[in-house]
Structure 1
Amino acid sequence: MRYTLDEMETFLAVIELGTLTAAAARLNIAKSVVSKRVSDLERALGAALFRRQAGRITPTEAADRLAERLRPALAALTAATESAAWEMDGSIPLRGMLKISAPMTFGTQHLSTLIARFAARHPELEFRIDYDDRYHDLAQEGYDLGLRIGEVQDSALIRRKLCDDRMMVCASPAYLAARGTPETPGDLADHGCIGYAHMANARFWQFSEGGRTLSPVTRTRLTVNNGEAMRELAAGGLGIAMLPGFIAQPAIDRGALVPLLSGWDTRTLPIAAVWPPIRPVPAKLRAFVDFLAGELKDGAPWRPAPSAR
């Protein structure tokens, strides 16, 4: 039984992306090369990995089982070889592909700038960056690193906290002029609130007082699944929003939103880098996490300085 790393990497790309064309584009090779590598791997294994019908391919159960075991094994092999090269001589440039997953708004507004600076320092390193608000299984989907905002639910992941943010309640000046300003969380029941589709209102609209957690009754006219959309709806006068500081602060700075209920504690949002457990930690991953920690060591850069609050 003979097969190559190229065949395995190509197989995983086809599994993840769903088509030969997409895999060819990611790997920067011809579609015919992708097809041949998959066929050669099937022949070496003596098993069909894909069903082919009317120009479409779907993975077999054997393919799904193989991918589940192959991803961590291939990641470990890559990490071992890259780390060996790095440790032999720390001056060796970082190489390979760094695959990153991050929430959409945090990625576009803040992380991209940091990645650009890191990439400029390491010109031989390649990046694949996915920004969306969907939860990703980092190990199963082949990511080296994820950025998580809020408490990390997956205890199997290695975590390094980068900084803290906090939820902020805010509304537009026009809305407050028309509807009045809530003075306590309980007053939110008399206002229109903007809900977040990925979390129940009772969990999303939380405050704390004297060690007690308060979940006031809220009335949501609008519910959306993206923080930027919530911010713009609030800025348009359509209700009160609760947003992470990194989303709300720019609109507050330009006067489009006004912070509310500042005397009440809201949920803290730890911002952390997470990655699947792997030994040794790849040099590219270690270097990037250290870079992020250094850039954010003084706290969230979007938050105003204490004297400006």
Structure 2
Amino acid sequence: MDLFQSMKVFAKVAEIGSLSGAARALDMSNPSVTRHIGDLEAYLNARLFNRTTRRLSLTEAGTDYLERCRQLLQDLEEATLAAGSSAAKPAGTLRISAPVSFAVNHLGRVLGEYGQRYPDVALDITLSDRMVDLVDEGFDLAIRISRIRDSALVARQFASARSMVCASPSYLKKQGTPRVPEDLASHTCLIYSYQATRGEWHFSRKGKTHIAKVKGTVNANNGDLLREAAIAGMGIIVQPSFIVADALRSKTLVPLLSDYDMASLPIYAVYPSRRHLSAKVRTFVDFLLERFGENPEWERDLPA
């Protein structure tokens, strides 16, 4: 049994959803594809597909094996390419998980530059604000905007962002301007659902902690939506500078409580700990650090 070939066949069948389609894509006969799947199931002692006359679907074991299989095939592909060169050349598919707002507002703008440098790397990007499992879900790398607690991951900080309190001029004209954090209790605030201290905004000044109890009529799990709601005059928000920077520059939002500090947000590239870091991951992490670095674009020219 050629295990590597059987894995390639299995991944292609799972991708296309049919044995005959995979056979055409791989330029193989239908019996040959069927034999590879049978050999692999016998080797694993597990059924990988549910088969009916009309439908082919992955079993639970097949779904789990597919993620690991894809990662192994990508690693083998890159190892093969590297073996033929004196220096590893970035190639293959780089699977990335990234937060929605950061990716839409900033990551998308710079991908073309990376692609020009490394044309042999294909980018497969999934946008999600949930904490994905890199190994189980087959991701090479994730961008995370939070403290890293998983010791099994390598985390490299490539930028940071400030938490900023903002509101529209129209809202402030009607409701007044808060002067201290405690004033926020009498204002309408727009709440980010994934915030760890939901319902409380924490500030500090001269070594003293201030906790503002906040409430409002809008809760959402997306910072871009909350920014637009704030621009429309619906209330006060706390959002990262990379989400509100353009609105602050255009003065559709106004910064508030600037004399008080809020916790900064570290932005990391994280990837599974491996003895040999692949060239595609290494170059992408280096690119993020180079492109954003110590003075990222969202921190430039902001009003005081």
- 1:3 corresponds to: 3
> Is it true that 1:98 corresponds to 2:100 in the alignment?
no
Q: 1:55 to 1:185 in 2, by over 3 A?
A: farther
**Length-normalised TM-score, structure 2:** 0.84
Higher alpha-carbon deviation: 280-289 or 40-49: 40-49
- 1:282 corresponds to: 278
- 1:122 corresponds to: 118
Q: Deviations 1:224-279 (Å, cap 9, x if unpaired)? A: 11110000000001111111100011111111100111111112110111111122
Q: 1:74 to 1:187 in 2, by over 3 A?
A: same
Asked if the contact 1:195–1:201 (Cα under 8 Å) also holds between the matched residues in 2, the reply is no
> Is it true that 1:62 corresponds to 2:61 in the alignment?
yes
Q: 1:214 to 1:274 in 2, by over 3 A?
A: same
RMSD between aligned residues: 3.1
- 2:37 corresponds to: 42
Q: Give the 3-state SS of the residue equivalent to 1:266 in structure 2.
A: coil
* In 1: Cα distance, 2:230 partner to 2:115 partner: 36
- Cα shift at 1:128: 1.1
Q: 1:304 to 1:39 in 2, by over 3 A?
A: same
What are the ranges of 5 or more consecutive residues in structure 2 without an aligned counterpart?
none
> Structure 2: which amino acid aligns with 1:189?
A
Asked if the contact 2:74–2:92 (Cα under 8 Å) also holds between the matched residues in 1, the reply is no
Higher alpha-carbon deviation: 76-85 or 127-136: 76-85
> Structure 1: which amino acid aligns with 2:3?
Y
Asked if the contact 1:80–1:280 (Cα under 8 Å) also holds between the matched residues in 2, the reply is no
* In 2: Cα distance, 1:132 partner to 1:121 partner: 26
> Is it true that 1:180 corresponds to 2:179 in the alignment?
no
- Cα shift at 1:57: 4.4
* In 2: Cα distance, 1:196 partner to 1:133 partner: 12
> Structure 2: which amino acid aligns with 1:4?
F
Kindly tell me the number of residue pairs found equivalent between the two proteins: 297
* In 2: Cα distance, 1:71 partner to 1:57 partner: 19
- Cα shift at 1:293: 1.1
- 2:214 corresponds to: 218
Which residues in structure 2 correspond to 1:90-239 (within 5 Å)?
Answer: 93-202=89-198, 205-211=201-207, 213-239=209-235
* In 1: Cα distance, 2:50 partner to 2:274 partner: 33
> Structure 1: which amino acid aligns with 2:37?
E
Q: Give the 3-state SS of the residue equivalent to 1:161 in structure 2.
A: strand
* In 2: Cα distance, 1:118 partner to 1:302 partner: 20
- Cα shift at 1:204: 6.2
Q: Give the 3-state SS of the residue equivalent to 1:205 in structure 2.
A: strand
> Structure 2: which amino acid aligns with 1:272?
Y
- Cα shift at 1:37: 8.3
* In 2: Cα distance, 1:192 partner to 1:288 partner: 41
Q: Deviations 1:25-74 (Å, cap 9, x if unpaired)? A: xx9x75998x9887444311324212235745443343255346545544
> Structure 2: which amino acid aligns with 1:175?
Y
What are the ranges of 5 or more consecutive residues in structure 1 without an aligned counterpart?
none
Q: 1:204 to 1:94 in 2, by over 3 A?
A: farther
* In 2: Cα distance, 1:37 partner to 1:244 partner: 54
Asked if the contact 1:207–1:213 (Cα under 8 Å) also holds between the matched residues in 2, the reply is yes
Asked if the contact 2:95–2:138 (Cα under 8 Å) also holds between the matched residues in 1, the reply is yes
* In 2: Cα distance, 1:297 partner to 1:246 partner: 13
* In 1: Cα distance, 2:141 partner to 2:79 partner: 17
- Cα shift at 1:14: 6.9
Higher alpha-carbon deviation: 103-112 or 39-48: 39-48
* In 2: Cα distance, 1:14 partner to 1:139 partner: 22
Asked if the contact 2:161–2:265 (Cα under 8 Å) also holds between the matched residues in 1, the reply is yes
* In 1: Cα distance, 2:296 partner to 2:188 partner: 29
- 1:258 corresponds to: 254
- 2:17 corresponds to: 20
**Length-normalised TM-score, structure 1:** 0.83
Asked if the contact 1:71–1:139 (Cα under 8 Å) also holds between the matched residues in 2, the reply is no
> Structure 2: which amino acid aligns with 1:140?
D
Q: Give the 3-state SS of the residue equivalent to 2:160 in structure 1.
A: strand
